[in-house]
Amino acid sequence: MSTVPARDKNLVDLYANHGAADPLVVACALDGRERDDLYLIAPEWVVVTGDKAVQSKAEQFGLTVLSNAEFAAVIDAAEGQT
């Protein structure tokens, strides 16, 4: 949250009931990536969201981001391979 300017209401605006969990999504992915960094072949942490502010914040930290449609396409492709 220290990277979010105080007046920026794109990621979190609790008065408008917007974004209460959004920072948590990014924080969990960052924590998971940090915990897994000790492994030679670490899993990739991906944030899936349609929220542009969350996408931007995740990309700022170097996380891979997929939109909802992109994620659905990955699922559909995987289902076609079974």
Residue 5 lies in a domain: no
- 21 is a domain residue: yes
**Mean pLDDT highest for which of 1-10, 15-24, 47-56?**
47-56
Distance CA 51, CA 65 (A): 11
Measure Cα distances from 8 to 3, 4, 11, 17, 51 in Å. Answer: 10, 7, 7, 15, 15
The model scores a pTM over 0.85: no
Between 62 and 4, whose confidence is greater?
62
Q: Is residue 4 part of a domain?
A: no
> What total number of domains does the chain contain?
1
% of the chain surpassing 90 pLDDT: 40
Range of 59's domain? Answer: 14-80
Q: Give a yes or no: residue 3 inside a domain.
A: no
Is residue 60 assigned to a domain?
Answer: yes
Domain-located, residue 7: no
Evaluate whether residue 38 is within a structural domain: yes
Whether residue 8 lies inside any domain: the answer is: no
Q: Which amino acid is at 72?
A: A
